[in-house]
Structure 1
Amino acid sequence: MNTPISCEFYDQLMVVIQRKIPSTIVYLENEQTATVKGVVTELMMIEYEEFLVLEGGKKINLQTIFLFNGKRHKEI
């Protein structure tokens, strides 16, 4: 079940997209933590799930992100 994404997190994402701020994202991938650095270019919906898209096209489901630029957004 998906949990709602906080307005604060959306606001943070909008700022980094508009200003093209390089970001560090820690998220779950295949039940393990993964870290990626890059510039977030957009947010998109794919089959009712929200994703951020990095330069180069990598998509990360917002539900899997627990640290974004050092700020915790959910527990592992």
Structure 2
Amino acid sequence: MNTPICCEFYDQLMVAIQRKIPSTIVYLENEQSTTIKDVVTELMMIEYEEFLMLKGGKKINLQTIFSFNGKRHKER
């Protein structure tokens, strides 16, 4: 079951997308904490799950994100 994403997080993502801000994202990938720096280009739904699309082509499920630009969104 997915945990709801808070509105403040969405607002932060939308600002980063609109202003093309290079962002640092810490998320869970293959059961390990991973950090990536890239520009978020859009948010999209894929089979009822929300994803960030990065300029480099990577997709990151919002449910796996621990922090975005230094702001913590969930515990590891």
Alignment of 1:1-76 (within 5 A): 1-76=1-76
Give the counterpart letter for 2:45 in structure 1. M
**Is there any run of 5+ residues in structure 2 with no aligned partner, and where?**
none
Give the counterpart letter for 2:20 in structure 1. K
The CA deviation string for residues 9-64 of structure 1, in whole angstroms up to 9 with x for no partner, is 00000000000000000000011000000000000000000000000210000000
Task: Give the percent of matched residue pairs that are identical in Structure 1 and Structure 2.
Answer: 87
Give the counterpart letter for 2:73 in structure 1. H
**Is there any run of 5+ residues in structure 1 with no aligned partner, and where?**
none
Runs of 4+ in 1 over 2 A off after TM superposition: none
Give the counterpart letter for 1:56 in structure 2. G
Give the counterpart letter for 1:14 in structure 2. M
Work out the CA distance in 2 between the residues paired with 1:34 and 1:10: 21
TM-score (norm 1): 0.98
Work out the CA distance in 2 between the residues paired with 1:57 and 1:42: 11
TM-score (norm 2): 0.98
